[in-house]
Structure 1
Amino acid sequence: MSIFGKIVSAIFGHGAQAETVAPANAPSPGGTSGGAAPPAPGAAPPAPQASAVDVEAVLGGLAAKTSEKLDWRHSIVDLMKLLDLDSSLAARKELAHELNYSGDTSDSATMNIWLHKQVMTKLAENGGKVPEDLKH
């Protein structure tokens, strides 16, 4: 699996777990008049529900559970650490290659800033709810 794929899986997987626990016992607001039929009891949530994953809430929840102070909002290294992924320079260079970084990977500071913004933008493109200030 690609590094970005691992990031998506870690974030959306945590979000899906939170979503399947809470709504199962609560009635949906407005009933079924929304047009879409509710999923069958015990059925796995369909893929489109991943679009409802609040990336900020998931990452904030993970950060609250760790004793390490991680600045995931600004640091790709801290974001990867929070998700328990390899955050080494080699892994970040691989992620940069996956995301088509055209800059100099020897300039790790510039690459890291680009990676963080790109990851947040790509999470949003893949259905995650990401605050605007994290995408720019």
Structure 2
Amino acid sequence: MSIFGKIKTAIFGDKGPLGGSVFGGSKPAAPTPTQPQATPQTHQPQAAPTAAPAAQPVDVEAVLTGIASRKGNPDLNWRTSIVDLMKLLDLDSSLANRKELATELGYSGAKDGSAEMNIWLHKAVMRELEKSGGKVPAGLKD
């Protein structure tokens, strides 16, 4: 699983906010065969199928705040630090993993663990979480 995939799963759980598997790996259930039924003599119009209600987006900030309060580690600055965000989610925050994450997300600068790279990574992760159906405040993306 990709580094970003691990971050997304840690925040959204096994299913994404838009329903279904986060990674699209699950198959829909096979339809069950139905017994043929006699058709009534009078034709009644069938009701149009109703769409399932849209899943609510996951409030990323609320989830992360909840995790932080449960862990009781006020020293983690997950709101601005990619290293602290990864630590909060119990993910390896090593330079090697951050380089891999940078490659996944399309970072084109030097992958040297610089402040520039880390700030870009944090903002890119937040933007990608939003694209995946999460609700992310502007202050965490920009």
- Asked if Structure 1 and Structure 2 have the same fold, meaning a TM-score greater than 0.5 normalized by the shorter chain, the answer is yes
Unaligned runs of 5+ in 1: 17-34, 39-47
In structure 2, the CA distance between the partners of 1:60 and 1:128, relative to structure 1 (3 Å rule), is same
Pairs within 5 Å for 1:22-37: 36-37=51-52
> Contact 1:80–1:86 (CA<8 Å) still a contact in 2?
yes
State yes or no: 1:88 paired with 2:94. Answer: yes
Pairs within 5 Å for 1:1-136: 1-13=1-13, 36-37=51-52, 49=55, 52-68=57-73, 69-136=75-142
CA offsets per residue over residues 33-91 of structure 1, 9 Å max, x none? xx6457xxxxxxxxx63x52100000000000113221100000000000000000110
Q: What letter matches 1:104 in structure 2? A: A
Structure number with higher helix proportion: 1
The two structures have a TM-score, normalised by structure 2, of 0.70
Q: Which has the larger radius of gyration?
A: 2
4+ long deviations beyond 3 Å = 35-38
Distance in 2 separating the partners of 1:62 and 1:124 = 19
The two structures have a TM-score, normalised by structure 1, of 0.73
CA RMSD of aligned residues (A): 2.0
